[in-house]
Amino acid sequence: MTIHKEGYKSILIATVLFAFINLASFQFFSFNWPWISWLIFIVTFGFLLFIISFFRVPNRVLTTGENLVICPADGKVVVIEEITDVEYFKDKRLQVSIFMSPANVHQNRNPMSGEIVYNQYHKGKYLVAWDPKSSTENERHSIVIRNSHGEILVKQIAGAVAKRIINYLTVGQQVKQCEEYGFIKFGSRVDVLLPVGTKVNVSLNQVVKGGVTVLAEF
């Protein structure tokens, strides 16, 4: 396991706060109320461990396949339905949504290899990630990957807690399946829009792993 580069600053700030709070706590409380100092230590240490864990990047054996669409994120499948895409395709698409809790790994991976033909950031609201309106009304970053099998759209969507979406891709870039393409800080969701008729290999409420679980196949 490694720590994601997006976490260095956050972990440093959390460590400095942990040290400052506990130095002050033990100086002012340890003599008369030592239990308060220990309580503060346990709570702040737990918070520090959570921050470190949030930015973890576990070692994994990745799944690849030319006719496969791999899950771009860790989390739980919360939506599998046919929708009308109003952003790019302007027609019917099969949407699969993965909800990412703060406990999940938040690195995002390319679900398939191909060329980036669309890359657009949208300002928006911060509705809870499981609200159906979050797909079209929340802050989000959409990309479209094209290869010989067609095009799929992938949305990184902010939620009530997630306030920063990071995307490393540019239009015209050639990407490889399962390579990292972005990161979402502190929980949200990722939507994948597939051609209607695509075989979906996951089910509602299934827990999936980014870069490992097969989402669909052409």
**4-11: long-range pairs with CB below 8 Å, 24+:** 4/55, 4/56, 4/57, 4/106, 4/107, 4/183, 6/55, 6/166, 6/183, 6/185, 7/51, 7/52, 7/54, 7/55, 10/51, 10/55, 10/185, 11/51, 11/52, 11/55
Q: Which of 97, 134, 135, 188 is catalytic?
A: 188
Our answer to whether residue 203 is catalytic in this structure is no
Distance CA 97, CA 215 (A): 10
Distance CA 134, CA 129 (A): 6
Catalytic residues: 188
